[in-house]
Amino acid sequence: MARRRKLRRFEPEAIEALLAGRETASLDRLLELVRGTNPTRRGALEPGEARRRYALKARLQSLAIARHGAALIVVATRSPGVVALRLAGRRGDACHALVAALEPAARAWVEAGLGRSRRR
């Protein structure tokens, strides 16, 4: 039987402080916030709330890439336009990312990372 992952807590105040530049966070803390924001597998969210959370998740992922990109790797998925953001050299991830939803600099970083992995 597969183990169920514990759902992280959604922390809108902490997220807004980070995105507004009033706070900083380690990569581990950013990833915790990404996972807590992710509406996937949360079932009963209203459609508007799910859209809002996906948008926040993309902004947090963009921030993680901007501040800690060297600690992340991009992994292509079977779904066009979706990538997995993994921690380089250790277990863990920053969830799947919809490339088009990322901020422009983060999107360019992802596309460059995909290009590097194709050339290997």
Alpha carbon of 117 to those of 28, 35, 41, 70, 72: distances in Å? 24, 25, 29, 15, 13
- Is residue 8 within a helix (H) or strand (E), and if so which, with residue range? none
pTM equals: 0.87
DSSP assignment letter at 57: H
Q: What is the pLDDT along the chain (120 residues), one digit of tens a residue?
A: 445 556 678 899 999 999 999 999 999 999 999 999 998 877 788 889 999 999 999 999 999 999 999 999 999 999 999 999 999 887 777 789 999 999 999 999 999 998 876 555
Nearest to 25 by CA among 6, 11, 8: 11
Backbone angles phi, psi at 24, to 5 degrees: -125, 165
Q: What is the widest separation between alpha-carbon atoms in the chain?
A: 43
